[in-house]
C-alpha cells in the first residue's frame, strides 16, 4: 500500500479476489486505489514475473469518455519508449467491460512520499531527479504527447531499477490526461480543455487556451520549486485561491526559504512565467538552464537588512460578500504606492504576500552613513503612511499597516536581500496600532519622534505616527 489513504479507499471497494485471472495474469493483492481504478500486484501465469495491473472501476466501465481516456493512456504509453517512462506490458478488457493494463511492478515510493519524509532536497538530489524526468517528458514531446499532469505523485522512485545503491530509477507515471497530437484514436480531449491537477496547471490550461509542451515546462518548474524548498510555490488548500495564484501571483523567490543561488532561483522562476513565450521552450532547455545555474557561484553573504513590511487587508466587520470593485481597487493600489515611494531609496521587493509586500535593503557602510540611510527610509515610510491615509478613492473597508525592522538577512552578490530571518516575517506583530510602526532596532541612532507602544516577541515597537518625543525601551 502506498499510504493510509490508499488503504481506506481500497477497503471501501469491491475488489477482485486473490487468484482471479486477468488476461495472462493472476491477481495477488491490491496495492492502491484512485479515482479511475485499482492497482493490483499480479503474477504472469507462465513466467511468474510480477506486474502491476491497473483496472478501471466497475462503475466507470459504462462511461464512454472514461473508457476512451483509459484506452488513450494505453496508446500513449505504447507510443513512448523511454527508460524513465512507465511501460505497458499488456492490456485488455474483463468480461464486464472494465479495461485493464499491465505495467512493470515498481518497488519504492512516489516522489510525493519521498518529499513528505525528507522535506526539501539538496540541489544535487533535485537535479538527479529533474534530469531523467526532463528526458522522459522530452521523449513524450518527441512523439507529439504532452503529459499535462506532472506532479510528485505521478513520479516514482523505483528501487528495483536503481543503477546504484541510493540512486533509484526515476519513472514518470500516469499519462491518463495526456494530449496526443497527430495520433490516431479517439479525440477525447481538445487542447483547449482544462484538464489535469490544479496544483501543477499552467495558466493557459486553467484558462482553456491552446496548450503545448510549455505547459509541461511550467509543471516541471512547479516540481523543481517543491524539490528545492519542500513546498509548492502556491501553497493553499483553496481551489479558488490556487486558481487565482496561478493566474496572477508571482511565486515567492526560492531564496527566501532555500539555500540556492540567485541564478538557480531565476531559472526555476522563468519556467513559472505566466506567458508560455517567457518560459524555456522545451524540457531540455529548462534542464540546461538549471544545470548551468548550479555551476555558478552562489556569492551570498550574511548581514543585517532593513525591512519595510506593507500590508493592505479588509478591515474586521467588512461585508461577508464581495467587498466591491472600489474596495478591491483600493486594496490593489497599496503595494504599487509603497514601491513607488521606497524603491528610489534602494529598497527592493524581497517577498510578495498577496496584498502585501516586504521591501528590504542591506544595512551597509559605516554606522553614521548607515543611520543616515535608515533615517531617509524612515522619513519615506512616514510620508508614505500619510499619503496612504489621505489617498483618493480610499475605501472604509481597507486598512493598511506598515512595520519597519532590522534583522539578519542573506544578501546576494548584487546587493539584494534573498532570504534570512528578515524575510520570514515572524517579527511582524499580529495586532498593530495605526502606525507606521518601527522596532527599537530600526530606530537606533535615529532621532525621530515616536511613542513606545509595547513589546511583541522580544521586539520593542514604537509608533512613528506619534508626535511625542521618542521613548526608548529600558535596558
Q: Which residues are catalytic?
A: 149
Given the C-alpha cell 531527479, which residue does it identify?
129
Three-state SS for 155?
strand
> What's the full length of the chain, in residues?
475
Could you give phi then psi for residue 178, rounded to 5 degrees?
-65, 150
CA dihedral 77, 80, 84, 87 (to 10 degrees): 40
| Three cell numbers written together for 31 | 496495492
DSSP state of 93: E
Q: How far apart are CA 63 and CA 413, in angstroms?
A: 58
Number of neighbours of residue 73 by Cβ within 10 angstroms: 22
Q: Are 464 and 381 in contact (CB under 8 A)?
A: yes
CA angle 115, 120, 350 (to 5 degrees): 135
Sequence-ordered alpha helix ranges (H) in 80-201: 111-118, 123-142
Judge contact between 314 and 398, C-beta under 8 A.
Answer: yes
- Going by the DSSP 8-state scheme, the letter that residue 405 receives in this structure is E
Helix (H), strand (E) counts: the chain: 12, 19
8-state DSSP, 122: -
Nearest CA to 343 among 359, 320, 355? 359
Q: What is the largest CA-CA distance in the chain?
A: 90
- Asked if 102 and 89 touch (Cβ cutoff 8 Å), the reply is yes
CA distance 180 to 140: 9
Instruction: Give the residue carrying C-alpha cell 513466467.
Output: 47
d(CA 168, CA 465): 59
Which cell numbers hold the place of 165? 545503491
Contacts of 208 (CB under 8 A, 6+ apart): 192, 193, 194
Sign of CA dihedral 362, 437, 434, 317: positive
Q: How far apart are the first and last CA of the chain?
A: 59
User: Smallest Cα–Cα separation from 285: which of 134, 387, 125?
Assistant: 134
Amino acid at each position: 500500500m502506498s499510504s493510509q489513504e490508499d488503504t481506506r479507499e481500497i477497503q471501501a471497494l469491491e475488489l477482485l479476489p486473490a487468484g482471479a485471472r486477468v488476461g495472462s495474469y493472476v491477481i495477488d493483492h491490491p496495492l492502491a486505489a484512485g479515482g479511475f481504478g485499482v492497482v493490483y500486484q499480479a503474477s504472469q501465469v507462465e513466467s511468474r514475473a510480477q506486474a502491476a495491473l491497473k483496472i478501471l472501476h466497475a462503475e466507470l466501465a459504462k462511461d464512454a469518455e472514461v473508457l476512451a481516456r483509459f484506452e488513450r493512456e494505453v496508446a500513449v504509453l505504447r507510443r513512448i519508449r523511454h527508460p524513465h517512462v512507465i511501460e505497458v506490458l499488456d492490456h485488455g478488457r474483463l468480461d464486464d467491460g472494465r479495461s485493464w493494463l499491465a505495467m512493470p511492478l515498481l518497488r519504492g515510493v512516489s516522489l510525493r512520499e519521498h518529499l513528505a519524509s525528507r522535506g526539501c532536497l539538496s540541489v544535487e538530489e533535485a537535479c538527479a531527479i529533474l534530469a531523467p524526468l526532463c528526458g522522459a517528458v522530452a521523449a513524450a514531446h518527441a512523439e507529439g504527447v504532452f503529459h499535462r499532469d506532472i506532479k510528485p505523485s505521478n513520479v516514482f522512485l523505483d528501487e528495483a531499477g536503481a543503477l546504484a545503491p541510493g540512486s533509484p530509477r526515476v519513472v514518470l507515471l500516469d499519462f491518463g490526461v495526456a494530449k496526443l497530437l497527430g495520433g490516431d484514436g479517439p479525440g477525447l480531449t481538445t487542447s483547449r480543455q482544462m484538464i489535469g491537477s490544479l496544483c501543477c496547471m499552467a495558466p493557459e490550461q486553467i484558462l482553456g487556451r491552446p496548450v503545448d509542451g510549455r505547459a509541461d515546462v511550467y509543471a516541471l518548474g512547479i516540481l523543481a520549486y517543491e524539490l528545492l524548498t519542500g513546498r509548492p510555490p502556491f501553497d493553499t488548500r483553496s481551489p479558488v485561491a490556487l486558481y487565482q495564484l496561478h493566474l496572477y501571483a508571482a511565486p515567492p523567490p526560492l531564496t527566501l526559504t532555500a539555500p540556492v543561488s540567485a541564478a538557480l532561483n531565476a531559472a526555476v522562476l522563468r519556467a513559472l512565467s505566466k506567458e508560455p513565450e517567457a518560459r524555456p521552450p522545451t524540457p531540455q532547455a529548462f534542464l540546461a538552464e538549471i544545470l548551468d545555474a548550479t555551476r555558478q557561484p552562489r556569492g551570498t553573504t550574511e548581514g543585517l537588512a532593513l525591512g519595510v513590511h506593507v500590508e493592505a487587508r479588509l478591515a474586521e466587520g467588512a461585508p461577508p460578500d464581495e467587498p466591491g470593485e472600489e474596495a478591491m481597487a483600493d486594496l490593489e493600489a497599496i503595494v504599487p504606492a509603497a514601491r513607488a515611494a521606497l524603491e528610489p531609496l534602494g529598497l527592493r521587493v524581497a517577498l510578495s504576500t498577496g496584498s502585501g509586500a516586504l521591501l528590504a535593503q542591506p544595512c551597509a557602510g559605516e554606522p553614521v552613513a548607515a543611520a543616515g540611510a535608515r533615517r531617509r527610509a524612515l522619513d519615506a515610510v512616514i510620508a508614505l503612511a500619510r499619503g496612504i491615509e489621505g489617498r483618493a478613492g480610499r475605501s472604509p473597508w481597507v486598512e493598511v499597516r506598515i512595520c519597519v525592522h532590522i534583522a539578519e538577512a542573506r544578501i546576494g552578490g548584487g546587493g539584494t536581500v534573498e532570504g534570512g530571518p528578515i524575510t520570514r516575517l515572524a517579527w511582524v506583530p499580529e495586532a498593530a496600532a495605526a502606525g507606521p510602526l518601527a522596532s527599537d532596532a530600526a530606530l537606533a541612532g535615529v532621532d525621530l519622534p515616536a511613542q513606545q507602544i509595547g513589546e511583541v516577541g522580544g521586539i520593542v515597537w514604537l509608533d512613528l505616527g506619534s508626535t511625542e518625543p521618542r521613548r526608548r525601551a529600558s535596558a
